[in-house]
C-alpha cells in the first residue's frame, strides 16, 4: 500500500503528463511543481518539470510526438 502523500504525487504526475502530451507546458509544469512540493525527491516529476520549462522557451515543431530529444549531455 502506498501513502496518501505518494498517491497525491502520482495523481499530479499523471495530470502533468496528460497536459504535457497536449502541449500545455505551463500547466503541466505547474502540476509537476506541485508534485515536487510534496516530494522533493520525485525524479520523474523533476525531469518533466525541466522539460516543460524547455518547451515553454523552445516550442516543439509541428507534428511533435511527445518524445524529448536531448541536444546536449
Residue ranges of domains in the chain: 4-57
> Can you tell me the distance from the alpha carbon of 64 to that of 44, in angstroms, rounded to the nearest whole number?
20
Give the residue from 56, 14, 55 showing the smallest Cα distance to 67. 55
Cβ count near 56 (within 10 Å): 12
Cα separation, 65 vs 39, whole angstroms: 29
What does the mean pLDDT of the chain come to?
93
**What's the length of the chain?**
73
Percent of the chain with pLDDT over 70: 95
Query: Grid coordinates 516543439 are at which residue?
Result: 60
pTM of the model as a whole: 0.89
Amino acid at each position: 500500500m502506498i501513502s496518501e502523500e505518494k498517491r497525491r504525487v502520482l495523481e499530479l504526475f499523471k495530470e502533468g503528463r496528460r497536459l504535457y502530451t497536449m502541449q500545455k507546458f505551463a500547466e503541466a509544469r505547474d502540476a509537476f511543481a506541485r508534485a515536487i512540493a510534496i516530494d522533493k525527491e520525485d525524479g520523474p516529476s523533476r525531469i518533466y518539470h525541466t522539460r516543460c520549462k524547455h518547451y515553454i522557451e523552445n516550442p516543439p515543431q509541428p507534428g511533435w510526438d511527445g518524445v524529448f530529444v536531448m541536444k546536449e549531455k
